[in-house]
């Protein structure tokens, strides 16, 4: 189940970046579950990772390798998160890096590992290591579609985006893939995202761009409020186009906007494929005194089981939304000033139900597959948007049966 029609994604290849995918049988025999990505020499890589204190072994290794080296390869396995696996998990992640490094004739520290799947189980290293050479031989600039499939877990569809951007008369390319469906909340979600471009970026600029773009995309989504142990978002700049970018230029701002837009498209695709989701919800909060209070209100609504189940039932129970706004912790909130809209329908004004509201109007919006909830706090100029889903019977079934 997913919200909206599945789109065919036409990936533009990124010069200097290759992807190879195979099946290692890590959890399900015959399923694509192992991906290697390789960037040409001179490329820059940067990433942002989960804020979970129990972050997985590969997250630890990624941070170490990025801090002291210039990685050129990434290896991703699904079906097993290699999280909560102690010292052995670290050894397994390092062994995976070493095996890929040997295939590519680089140092172990130039390989970044990523895992996603069940927490608390050790990687089946024999089948993983045996399959790495096959993934390596399949490396191609046209491997995006297979890789998009190879990184999935409970997802029902692949998630990708690809654009060409004109910078001072020269076309450059950005392509990306992501996975994620459940255990989704900001900072970050149980997601993996890999974005590559053929522009040249300094290491510092690559890091700044991925951090900023992730903050405005993957850190604005939530499905169930649970924070993963494994989420990672990577940006790779190969420089193969010969176009170098620097801050405070028109080309930089155009590129930045295109990158944020592409990553928002990937993030919203994760929400649309949220586990069991039947609705896609945008929650806009405006009129805040600062960004954080806007986000606090948006997440109070997005994380409320009562709001989410009402959305699933298409029940215009607007009191649940009002209550969530009220407990969001906004200091000195004047409830008589704020307004709440459901789509174009005014729900709340002057501290209670709007005089113009009718149940029929509210029901018409709740029957839609895509719904916008808008809160105006009427106390400042800041605004933020968060994307989320409803909470369905199917979500419970998926997560009750996850390990079976």
Alpha-carbon gap, residue 256 to 215, rounded angstroms: 13
* Residue 341, both tokens: 């809209």
* SS3 of residue 65 by DSSP: helix
> 78, 116, 158, 190: which one is catalytic?
190
The residue to which tokens 């989420």 are assigned: 231
* Residue 81, both tokens: 């998160």
* SS3 of residue 170 by DSSP: strand
β-strands 352-353, 345-349 pairing? antiparallel
Alpha-carbon gap, residue 264 to 303, rounded angstroms: 20
Angle between helical axes of 305-312 and 291-302 (0-180°, round to 10):
60
Start-to-end C-alpha separation, the chain: 19
Instruction: Establish whether the linkage from the previous residue to 188 is cis, with ω within 30° of 0.
Output: yes
Instruction: Determine whether 190 is an active site residue.
Output: yes
* Residue 45, both tokens: 């890589």
Alpha-carbon gap, residue 169 to 380, rounded angstroms: 40
Cβ-based neighbour number of residue 393 at 10 Å: 11
Alpha-carbon gap, residue 37 to 242, rounded angstroms: 21
State the catalytic residues.
190
């Amino acid at each position: 189940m997913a919200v909206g029609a599945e789109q065919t994604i036409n990936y533009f290849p990124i010069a200097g970046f290759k992807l190879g995918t195979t099946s290692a049988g890590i959890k399900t025999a015959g399923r694509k579950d192992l991906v290697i990505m390789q960037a040409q020499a001179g490329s820059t890589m940067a990433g942002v990772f989960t804020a979970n204190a129990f972050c997985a072994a590969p997250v630890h290794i990624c941070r170490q390798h990025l801090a002291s080296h210039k990685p050129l390869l990434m290896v991703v396995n699904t079906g097993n998160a290699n999280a909560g696996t102690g010292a052995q998990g670290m050894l397994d992640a390092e062994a995976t890096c070493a095996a890929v490094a040997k295939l590519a004739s680089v140092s172990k520290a130039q390989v970044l590992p990523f895992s996603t799947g069940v927490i608390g189980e050790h990687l089946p290293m024999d089948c993983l290591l045996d399959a790495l050479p096959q993934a390596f031989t399949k490396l191609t600039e046209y491997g995006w579609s297979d890789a998009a499939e190879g990184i999935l877990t409970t997802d029902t569809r692949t998630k990708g985006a690809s654009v060409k951007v004109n910078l001072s008369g020269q076309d450059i390319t950005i392509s990306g893939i992501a996975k994620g469906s459940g255990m989704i909340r900001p900072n970050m979600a149980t997601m993996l995202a890999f974005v590559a471009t053929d522009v040249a970026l300094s290491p510092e600029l690559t890091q700044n761009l991925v951090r900023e773009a992730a903050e405005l995309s993957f850190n604005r989504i939530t499905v169930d409020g649970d924070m993963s142990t494994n989420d990672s978002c990577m940006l790779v700049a190969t420089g193969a186009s010969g176009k170098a970018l620097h801050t405070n230029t028109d080309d930089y701002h155009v590129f930045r906007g295109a990158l944020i837009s592409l990553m928002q498209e990937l993030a919203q695709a994760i929400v649309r494929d949220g586990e069991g989701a039947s609705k896609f919800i945008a929650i806009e909060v405006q009129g805040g005194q600062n960004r954080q209070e806007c986000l606090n209100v948006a997440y109070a609504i997005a994380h409320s089981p009562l709001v989410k189940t009402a959305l699933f039932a298409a029940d215009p129970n607007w009191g649940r939304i009002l209550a969530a706004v009220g407990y969001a912790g906004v200091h000195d909130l004047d409830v008589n000033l704020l307004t709440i809209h459901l789509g174009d329908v005014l729900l709340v004004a002057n501290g209670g139900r709007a005089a113009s509201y009718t149940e029929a109007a509210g029901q018409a919006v709740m029957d839609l597959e895509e719904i916008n909830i808008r809160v105006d706090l009427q106390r400042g100029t800041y605004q933020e948007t968060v994307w989320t889903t409803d909470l369905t019977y199917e979500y419970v079934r998926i997560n009750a049966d996850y390990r079976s």
